[in-house]
Structure 1
Amino acid sequence: MIANTDYSTESQLLTQLKVRLADVNHDLKDTDILRFLRGRSHNLTDAENMLRNHIQWKIDHDFNKALTWAIAPQVKEGFPFCIDGLDKDGRVVMYYPLGLWKGRQFLSAGWGPELERHLLYIAAYGYHIVEKTTPGGKYQVILDLADLSYWQTTYYDAMQLILRVFREFEQNFPETMERAVVINAPWILDVIFPLIRPILTGSTIQRLEIYDNSPEKWVPVLLDKIPMGGFPSMFRKKYQTLVEEWKANN
C-alpha cells in the first residue's frame, strides 16, 4: 500500500487501472475508480477485479436507473430513512432507524423483490447525495436500533437479506463511509455481529462504533463530529430534546 500523501504514485496507478479497463463500457468517473483502488490498498489486479465485478453488478441490477424506480408506498413507509444532514466537515450524514424497519413482516408476506429494490434505491440515492455534495467524498451514518425486537432479528430470511446487503455494500461502495455509529444496540447484536463481521473489511470495522441505549455514551460521540443543526431531520425530530438536555447538563 502506498502512503496516503503519495499522490503522484496514486495518479500513476489510476492511469494504469483505467488502461486495464479500456475494454469495458462503463460510466465511472476518476473519483469512483479511486475508491476501488484505495479500497484494495492500491493493488492494481485486485482493484481491477473488483471494478469489473462492480460494473457487471450495476448492469445486472439496472442500478443506473435506480433513482427512477417507483417503490411501493407501503415499502417506503415500512423502511424509512433520512439523508439530509451535514457534519462539521461538510460530509453528508445519513440516518437509518433500523429498529423500525419491518423486514420480517414484508419478507414473510412475499415482498422480498420489492424490498430489495428499495434497498438498492436507498444505496443509489445516498451515493447520489454524497457525489452531489462532496464529489469523491465520504459520509457518516447513524444506525439506530431502538425498538429492534428479538422477533425481528431471529427471522432467517431477514438475516440472509442483511448479510447480502452488507456484502454488496462492501463490494460495490468501497471507501465511501467515514464513520458508522450504531446507537441503542440491544443485546441481540452480540449474536448477530459475529455473523456480519467476516464479510466486513478491516477498514469498515475500524470505522464502526457501537453503543447501547445509554444516551450519555453516544450523544457526545455524535456531537463531536456533527453540529446540532447538522443532524438528519428525522433524527432531530426524535432526539433533539434529549440531545439538548445532555448539552445543558454537560
Structure 2
Amino acid sequence: MTAESKSDETQLVDVSTVVLSEEPVIAVGDSCSAKEEKVEDELPEKPKAVKEDVLMDSKPTEEEEGEEKEASSVEKELYPSLGSVLVQKSCSFREESNFLSDLKDNEKRALLELRVMLEEAILENKLLESAKEGDDMEVKGAVVDVTLWGVPLLPSRCVESTNVILLKFLRARDFKVDDAFNMLRTTIRWRKEHSIDTVVDEEDLGGGEVEATAYMGGTDRDGHPVCYNVFGLFQEDGLYQKIFGSEEKVDKFLRWRFQLIEKEIQKMNFNPGSVTSIVQVIDLKNAPGIFKKELRNAMKKAVGVLQDNYPEFVAKTIFINVPLWYCAVNTLLSPFLTKRTKSKFIFSRSANVTETLLRYIPAESIPRRYGGLRHPNECEGEFAAVKGGGGGVSEVIVKAGCTESIEIPVITVGMNVVWDLTVLGWDVNYKEEFVPDDDGSYTVIIQKGRKMAAHEEPIRNSFKNNEPGKIVLAVENNGFKKKKIFFRYKNNI
C-alpha cells in the first residue's frame, strides 16, 4: 500500500499483513527497460513468528510460591494428562496462542481455576442452576456429557480442545475467572433456551434476497473464513420490511445469522494452533442511515447476542465504504462493545476499499465487486495448480509512463485459456492479443485497446487457440504513479 492510500485509512488496531506470494508462472516484459528488474512487493512484510511470552518479571513471594505449589498439586491430581496438551506450537502471530506453553503464569492459573470450577459445576449438576435435593445420578450423568460446539466441557476428560474453548471465554473477560464462568454458563443457557444446537438444520430461515445480505467467501491471509455483510441491500424498502417489518421477522433474521455462523463453526477444528475465528467485512455503501429505528435496534440486539455468546469468534471486523453518518452509529453502539472488541475494528473509506482488503485478504478471496478476483460461484482452488499451466494470483508493478506486457504461453492447439486481471485504481489503457509463434501468421486481437476508468471491475476473459503462440495482456500506465496488477490464469486442455 502506498503512503498516499495509508493516509485515507483510519484503523483502531495495528494488524500486520503478509506479502503476496509471487511465483514466476509467466513472462513479464517492461517496455521502459531491457534489463529485468525484481519487483518488490509494496505490501507490509509478514512479521516473524511471535516469540514466547515472557513469564512474570517479579519473583514470586513465599505466599505466591505456596499457592503455585498447591495449584500444581491440584492440577496433577485432577488432570493427570494436562501436560499431554502441550503440542508443538505453530500458530499465527495475530491472535493469542492457545498452546499452554505460550500462556503467561497468571493466564495458566486462571485457566486452571476455571477448569476446577467447571469440573465441580458439571459433576454436581450446578452448571445451569443449583442442584436440588433428590437429584439422582442418572441426571448427573447426563449433565457430564455437556458439550459446546461439539467440544466436551468436562475438563477431567483431558480433551485439549476444551482448553481452547475455555480460553475464549477467559480472554473475553480479561482472564477474570468468575466473569468467564458466568459468561460460559449464560451461553449454555442461551443456547438451550433458543435451541441453537439444531439451528443448522432449519431450512426456512433465509431465502434469496435475505441470503444476499451476508455470505461466506474465501479466507484471509491467515486462513480465517471471511463473512461479507452487505448493508446497502437494506435500502430497498421491500426487503427492509421483509426483514425488519415486525419483531417476529427480526427474530427470524437474527436466527438465520446465528445459523450462518454456526455452520462455519461446525467446520472448525478446536485443537491448539487451528483457526477458530472468522473475519467480518461490513460494507456500508448505500446503507440506511441512523434514522432507521428498526435496523438500529436489530443491529444493537445482534451485536449484544454475538458478543455475549460467541466470544473470540471474530478475529477482526473490517468496515468498508464508511459514510460520515456512521460516526454517529458507532457512538451509539460503542457503550455496548467491550474494549477488546473495539480494538479489532478497521475502517476504510470508499476510495481505497480494495487496498484495505488486500492488506488482510488475498486477491483471489476478495469478491469482484470490491476489486478482487473471486467470482460468486467460484470453487475453492479453481485456479490453483491446474493441469496445463496457470495457478494462483501473481502480482506485477507497472511503473509510471510504462507498459507491462503479461505473456501467457499457449503451446498446445485447442487450449481454452481463462484469465482474470485487475489493476488497483485502474486509470490505464488495456488490450489483449494472441501472438502466434509462426511469424507468417497474423496476430489476433482479443480485446481492442481501451481506456479503463478508475473504478472498473476486474476483467475475466478466455481464448481458444488454433495454433501455438502466446496471449499478451498489455497494461499501459500514462499516469504519474506506479500501478499494481493482480492476475491469474488457467489452461483447460
Matching residue of 2:343: 206
What one-letter code is carried by the residue in structure 1 that aligns with 2:112?
Answer: T
Counterpart secondary structure, 1:111: helix
Question: 1:164 deviation in Å?
Answer: 0.6
* Counterparts of 1:149 and 1:37, CA distance in 2: 36
Matching residue of 1:98: 231
Matching residue of 2:372: 240
Q: Are the counterparts in 2 of residues 145 and 185 from structure 1 also a CA contact under 8 Å?
A: yes
Deviation string 1:4-59 (CA, Å, 9 cap, x unpaired) is 64356544432321331232243133122210011111111111111111111111
**Counterparts in 2 of 1:1-250, with a 5 A limit?**
5-6=102-103, 10-22=107-119, 23=121, 24=127, 25=143, 26-28=146-148, 29=151, 30=162, 31-74=164-207, 76-80=208-212, 81-101=214-234, 102-108=239-245, 111-131=249-269, 135=274, 137-150=276-289, 153-214=290-351, 216=352, 218-231=353-366, 235-236=367-368, 239-240=371-372, 244-246=422-424, 249-250=483-484
* Higher helix fraction (1 or 2): 1
Q: Are the counterparts in 1 of residues 348 and 356 from structure 2 also a CA contact under 8 Å?
A: no
What one-letter code is carried by the residue in structure 1 that aligns with 2:265?
Answer: Y
* Counterparts of 1:219 and 1:39, CA distance in 2: 31
* Higher strand fraction (1 or 2): 2
Counterpart secondary structure, 1:116: helix
Corresponding residue pairs, total: 241
Deviation string 1:151-210 (CA, Å, 9 cap, x unpaired) is xx4222221111010011111112222211111122221221111111111111111012
Q: Are the counterparts in 2 of residues 54 and 171 from structure 1 also a CA contact under 8 Å?
A: yes
Return the index of the structure with the highest Cα Rg: 2
* Counterparts of 1:144 and 1:35, CA distance in 2: 27
Per chain length, whose mean CA-contact separation is higher, i.e. which structure has more relative contact order (CA < 8 Å, sep 6+)?
Answer: 1
Identity of matched residues, %: 20
Q: Are the counterparts in 2 of residues 180 and 207 from structure 1 also a CA contact under 8 Å?
A: yes
Change in Cα spacing, 1:136 to 1:39, as seen in structure 2 (3 Å) is farther
Structure 1-normalised TM-score?
A: 0.83
Counterpart secondary structure, 2:371: helix
What one-letter code is carried by the residue in structure 1 that aligns with 2:220?
Answer: D
Structure 2-normalised TM-score?
A: 0.44
Which residues of structure 1 form unaligned runs of 5+?
none
